[in-house]
Amino acid sequence: MAQVNRLTYGSKMENQYAQMVDLGLGEYITQVPSTRYPVYTRGNAGEVWPEVAYPLTITLTRKAGEIASAQAAINAGVITPKDIKDGPTCFGGVFAGYMYLNLSFGRMIAIRTPGTTIEKSDATYYGSEHEAPEYIPNKKDKSIIASLRILRYGWKMLHTNDLPALKKDRNLVSQWQSRLPEILASSDEVLVAAMREIMEPANLLFTHHLDITGQAGGAVQLLSTICEERLDDRSIALTLLGGLGDVDSAEPSFVLWELGRMVAQNSELSSLFNAGLPDLESRLRHSDAAKEFMDKFDHFLETFGSRGPNEWETACETWGTNPPSVLTLIDRMRLTDAHNSPKVRALELSKKRETATLDARKELKGFGSWLFEKALHSSILFSQARERSKTTIVDLIHVARLITRELANRTAEQRKNAELIDLWFILESELDEFIDNPSAFDAKISERKRVRGELSTRIPPFIFEGKIPDPSTWPLRSAVKANNSQHAKEGQILKGFGGCPGVAEGIAKIITDPSDPQDLGPGDILIAPLTDPSWTPLFVPAEAVVVNVGGQMSHAVIVSRELGMPCVVAVKDATDIIKDGTRIRVDGATGEVTILETPQS
């Protein structure tokens, strides 16, 4: 780690750090884009950080994120410190409050990686080549030495059978979890110190996650290329990776399904749910008939309490801090047909995977067979490990969330008309002064809230080059929703990326908030703007899923492969151009969404 800690970015570094800048709408947290790597994308970043980021989170985690990104890239051999002299935003950053990844930097890595193309890299990680500007060659992008290092790294990847860092990282998180009660009972100063201290293990865990993610992407790309070149069908790779089991991000759906079955098969529980979601948790806890259910429910919260919408942002609620949101998901599960059981679907997909594996082995001989087996093994190992490493980080973030919430509660009690969320509008550098005199920051907090609210009403560009457009020019979300002229017509075919093979027909249900699934149920196809683990349970009652954004390593693809349902990602503006109630066909192999019948106005 010392190698990265000592690196310097050059004279532009200070300007690229996250800071409050006047965006025209007012001051908010932002950074200066890299000139060496000028193209940025919301692809993948939009899944991890869908909402406008909070100043405290960004300024607290900035250094750990930058060091981890640099260390992971250096570990892989794709760069040396001189490649990132231009500043920390060569990896990505927050611009006008929204998180972006650096597409130019990813493309440089693709140029240096033998056997990879820019198009394949874009599709795997970002799902953004439909909108991205054409690649402009840069002589600095090529590096024979880096390419040789990457080959060595890839060779090591193909021969990896175990990842002991996963267990060490889990033990590290467990230590912080065991410290939590003592920290929460300590002084404000100790809470602030812990918030800063936890960034060091976060740095380590994020480095490991990025290492594993890079290898997972490389292995899947290699497997897909083998299927394309040796078996004449790239989509076979999707089948080969279906129903693997032991995928952390899919696991909550299996548990929620069982809770939903408990409700569906018990008339007293069903009556409690039928009475409505408001105050449901209280009514369940006061019912003798719900004791077994609530014991299992509480165990779910204990196990998966760190997961939820925007779970990387400590300011946001999770299933653990907002249990009623889980009951909303169970309410959808209980009304779902038995054939939607994730276990049944996963079993079917597992059988297809086994058949596809046997068929591929019959076709491949010699070196091609050896390489196929290595690529398949690595794809499975690192895909599962990627989700495990992500879960470990999210669990550590949850510890940080609970520490920060405790401080937020205390400081809110000292201010008139204060809210819990107020603390997250403070910069890390302002924390010490804030806990000494919280009321002195009332005006700053109020103004930063106003600006964040304004940014939240607008849709940031999915891709920008050079400088992010003035936020005042971004389209209003309300205006886009009101524009019905964009709706797709009967017979029109929308194109995206296939995420999980299979064909499904059903009624499109446009869902923009996982906590409000409306009447999503059997026969429906979920149309979502993006997905993170909080969306996963909504996959179960649906017949298929279509997502506006996402690459082949995105959350929606990985989870749909585990749940055995057709999935198409990167269908641009699907939630806007597909009218709610439209009958559609989803082909998870070809990535096509066909409009069959539009609803009568």
At 368, the amino acid letter reads: G
Of 382, 445, 380, give the one whose Cα is nearest residue 411: 445
Of 317, 324, 503, give the one whose Cα is nearest residue 424: 317
d(CA 594, CA 374): 37
Contact 244, 561 (CB under 8 A): yes
Q: Which phi-psi region, left, alpha or beta, contains residue 466 (left: φ > 0; alpha: ψ -120 to 50)? A: left
Q: Which phi-psi region, left, alpha or beta, contains residue 448 (left: φ > 0; alpha: ψ -120 to 50)? A: alpha
Whole-number Cα distances in Å, 148 to 120, 207, 489, 519:
20, 22, 50, 54
The structure tokens listed for 531 are 């997905």
Of 230, 243, 224, 239, give the one whose Cα is nearest residue 357: 239
pLDDT at 572: 84
d(CA 539, CA 559): 9
Neighbour count for residue 435 (Cβ, 10 Å): 19
Strand-pairing partners, residue 509, are 526
d(CA 420, CA 435): 14
d(CA 339, CA 563): 12
Count of H-run helices and E-run strands, the chain: 24, 14
DSSP-derived secondary structure letter, 318: -
The structure tokens listed for 175 are 């230590």
Neighbour count for residue 343 (Cβ, 10 Å): 13
Contact 87, 34 (CB under 8 A): yes
d(CA 308, CA 294): 19
Q: Which fold has domain 484-597?
A: Glucose Oxidase; domain 1 (3.50.30)
Query: Which phi and psi (to 5°) does residue 378 adopt?
Result: -65, -40
Apex 140 CA angle, 138 and 141, nearest 5: 70
Of 534, 538, 483, give the one whose Cα is nearest residue 510: 538
Contact 542, 337 (CB under 8 A): no
Q: What are the boundaries of each domain within the chain? A: 2-231+365-453, 484-597
Place of tokens 């940031």: 460
Contact 567, 557 (CB under 8 A): yes
- Global pTM reads 0.90
Neighbour count for residue 478 (Cβ, 10 Å): 10
pLDDT at 393: 96
**Coil, strand or helix: which one is 515?**
coil
Of 31, 25, 183, 15, give the one whose Cα is nearest residue 101: 31
**Residue ranges of the chain with pLDDT lower than 50?**
1-14, 129
pLDDT at 500: 86
Place of tokens 């057709």: 566
At 358, the amino acid letter reads: L
DSSP 204-241: HHHHHHHHHHHHHHHHHHHHHHHHHHHSS-TTHHHHHT
